[in-house]
A = this chain, B = another copy of it.
Amino acid sequence: MDYDPHAFPPFAVTVDVVVLTLVDGRLHVVLVKRGVEPFKGDWALPGGFVRVDEDLATAAARELAEETGLGHPAPFLEQFGVYGDPGRDPRMRVISVGYVAVVPRVEEPQGGSDAAESFLAPVDEVDPASLAFDHRHILEDAIDRARTALERSTIATRFCPAEFTVAELREVYEAVWGVELDPGNFQKRVADVDGFLEPTGRHRRGGRGRPPELYRAGPASVIEPPMRRP
């Protein structure tokens, strides 16, 4: 780490944000259409420059808000990787820090103030070849991270609105893991985790069957023992 501060190589640093959410029980990701070369017309992850005096996480939150309008409520954001192959950007050496954002179901997709257009795409329908740069890998890694995060951490609740039912939480697990879970066993399992779910005492009316109880996310951040992926 001994170096001359005036002789460092020229790097640009960006953040790329993989915004995950659930729409109709399917995992979706926010993509923006590139308006300029290179990769003009291709889909890309929202992202951009880190400013000189800006924290990485702050930059991720800012880009998320600017490009997708999903700044409120403050989304869950977690760093999951760095991408720095020489040549990943044809113009210059760029190091990109990958963040996953998990946001509650959005009714009306988006409409960012910054980028031209943004889309919500079902992750299993995204054509990897249509993604700019190495965003195909970044997306893969983010989904991988989300899958394993559901095991030990309580982020699944971040896909849900402030108050939600156990069935909605189960939908999150089913969508992210791509499996079906037994409703009864799932219910007992999550109820057993201290601080995962906080009952509100109220119920959701209007559905077809017995009205389910509404829960809030509890204070726990860790699920112990971890949920097992079938």
Residues of A within 8 A of B (CB): 1-3, 5, 8-14, 16, 34-36, 44, 47-56, 79, 81-82, 84-86, 91-93, 95, 97, 132-133, 148, 152, 225-226, 228
Contacts and interface: CB of A to CB of B under 8 A. Distances in A.
A93 B52 contact: yes
Contacts of A5: 12, 91-92
Q: How many copies does the complex hold?
A: 2
Given A35-B2, A48-B1, A53 B86 contact: yes
A230 B16 CA distance: 37
B34 A1 contact: yes
Contacts of A228: 225
The secondary structure that dominates the A interface is loop
A12 B11 CA distance: 6
Contact of A56 (B53, B82, B225): B82
A97 B84 contact: yes
A49 B12 contact: no
Given A2-B36, A36-B2, A9 B50 contact: yes
Contacts of A36: 2
